[in-house]
Structure 1
Amino acid sequence: MMPSYFFAHGAPSIVLEDNEYTQLLKKFKENTPKPKAIVLFSAHWEEAAQTIGAAETFETIYDFGGFQEELYRMTYPAQTDRSLAGQIQSLFAKQGIQSVIDEKRGLDHGAWAVLKLLYPEADIPVVALSVNRYLTNEQQYQIGKTLTELREQDVLIIGSGGTVHNLRRLNWRSEGIDPWAEQFDSWLQSKLEAWDTEALFNYRELAPYAEEAVPTNEHFIPLLLAMGTGDANRQAKLLHRSYQYGNLSLSCWQFH
């Protein structure tokens, strides 16, 4: 069964950087069987209804400003898998989750910046999925769980977001790690490794510095979605964690 993953996408410029985290992403395909297709939830695509992105060839969305000019020339012209998109819609329907298919929207930087590091050739079909910040954490987990069987079909499921993501607290000149960010991520690690869903669903009340780490939840949701796909075996493994600008976490979780 193909593992599923959560990748922090950091700042859009991550695709240009060379560090331990980007090296992990660049070497990912060397240690992972080539998937038949990729299904990716991005924190930067929010919709009230669960939306399935299945553009014939995805355009590249530059949903950011003030970064290096090189980023605005990058493209990731992945094609989709229409039959997989239809299968996902059927899986959702069986669980009473209403969904719609969008054949026009491109890939935002939460999707293409990660994918360009993982599979720069853009030669694997992609189906993009939106997130909804107004669902409960348990509902997010259940959406991921709905897609579990895709892992048996060599489909790679990715959640792209960030566990500590507070742009107002970034320290642009910092070389150290803010203790509050590390404490939140350490709490999160202990609950993920124990597969303590009750605590995770109530992280805002239970986790230290949750308000600082997760001021808005759209970047945290993809972690719960990816975790839900691993409900059958309930094995979580931290593959990497580092920080930029004092507290912007770059983490990778694998779910079996």
Structure 2
Amino acid sequence: MDTFFLSHGSPTLSIDESLPARPFLRSWQSKVLQAVPRAILVVSGHWETAVPTVNVINGTNNTIYDFYNFPKSMYQLKYPAPGAPHLAKRVKELLEQAGFGRVKEDKTRGLDHGAWVPLMLMYSEANIPVCQLSVQTDRDGTYHYNMGKALAPLRDEGILIVGSGNATHNLRMIGRDGGPIAKWALDFDAWLKDSLLDGRYDDVNHYEEKSPSGKMAHPWPDHFYPLHVAMGAADGYGY
């Protein structure tokens, strides 16, 4: 099973038909990944904890509306995917065996919008079990890359690993809708694409020193670390 990183963009991806990511994600099963995963592990930039934590849900995942002042219709959306407690236990086992310390279990947390918004387009039936894993923003890219490497065996177990964040994420610097894309964002995005295609994963792990405008693109690393996890899990074969 391949592993992927998705730039999930704004929560309005859930309703805005003008966004080009919507048809791409809707074509996921026909054009991107025909194999049906046994379960899905999502590493979302919207779940930060001090230590690695998995949500262990028996039954249905709750839909978390972790966004504010958006259209009311967005708060009516549901993505009632079943939990994946067996996958959560396996993630915990792999990370603890790899030396990440005790992995915590959260038995109440559902799916944040970094998980359910793209998944509702990719797997609209909401019938595949989903588990989430948190990021640790006081750590670095190499830590999260090694986390992904520890999780790589899941790929041979039919598990789809998805890192959900953004290639750039600086909310303070967002320009007006329809305006030109800032040069710092274009430069960072081009550097990231070239680095990944060239296999310069260590440069991506040390993006703050190696990239143009790294601190501008990611003043806080929460939305970038899911890429590092996916990159480590991919072992050079992710998308």
What range is the shorter-chain TM-score in? over 0.9
Q: What is the CA-CA distance between 1:211 and the residue it aligns to?
A: 1.7
Distance 1:123 1:172 in 2: 38
Q: What is the CA-CA distance between 1:77 and the residue it aligns to?
A: 1.1
Q: Indicate whether 1:22 and 2:17 are aligned.
A: no
User: Aligned partner of 1:11: which letter?
Assistant: S
Q: What is the CA-CA distance between 1:197 and the residue it aligns to?
A: 2.2
Give the % identical residues: 37
In the alignment, which residue of structure 2 is the partner of 1:138? 142
Distance 2:105 2:56 in 1: 7
Q: What is the CA-CA distance between 1:9 and the residue it aligns to?
A: 1.1
**Where is the strand percentage greater, Structure 1 or Structure 2?**
1
SS at match of 1:229: helix
In the alignment, which residue of structure 2 is the partner of 1:243? none
1:210-221 mapped onto 2 (5 Å cutoff)? 210-221=214-225
Distance 1:180 1:37 in 2: 37
Unaligned runs of 5+ in 2: none
SS at match of 1:147: helix
In the alignment, which residue of structure 2 is the partner of 1:5? 4
Question: 1:15-64 CA distances to partner (integer Å, 9 max, x unpaired)?
Answer: 11223211110110123111110000010111111001122211111111
Distance 1:25 1:52 in 2: 25
Question: 1:167-199 CA distances to partner (integer Å, 9 max, x unpaired)?
Answer: 111112333322221110111111111121221
User: Aligned partner of 1:75: which letter?
Assistant: K
* Residue 167 of structure 1, aligned match among 163, 171, 175: 171
* Residue 74 of structure 2, aligned match among 48, 71, 76: 71
In the alignment, which residue of structure 1 is the partner of 2:96? 93
1:97-116 mapped onto 2 (5 Å cutoff)? 97=100, 98-116=102-120
In the alignment, which residue of structure 2 is the partner of 1:148? 152
SS at match of 1:107: coil
Q: Indicate whether 1:49 and 2:48 are aligned.
A: no
Distance 2:215 2:84 in 1: 38
Q: What is the TM-score of this pair, normalised by structure 1?
A: 0.88
SS at match of 2:95: helix
In the alignment, which residue of structure 2 is the partner of 1:200? 204
Contact 1:54 1:81 in 2 (8 A): yes
Question: 1:41-93 CA distances to partner (integer Å, 9 max, x unpaired)?
Answer: 01011111100112221111111111111100011111122222111111111
Distance 1:218 1:30 in 2: 31
SS at match of 1:168: helix
Aligned residues: 234
Q: What is the CA-CA distance between 1:138 and the residue it aligns to?
A: 0.8
**Where is the helix percentage greater, Structure 1 or Structure 2?**
2
Q: What is the CA-CA distance between 1:110 and the residue it aligns to?
A: 0.9
Q: What is the CA-CA distance between 1:159 and the residue it aligns to?
A: 0.5
Question: 1:97-121 CA distances to partner (integer Å, 9 max, x unpaired)?
Answer: 1201211111111111111111111
Contact 2:8 2:166 in 1 (8 A): yes
Distance 2:214 2:95 in 1: 30
SS at match of 1:114: helix
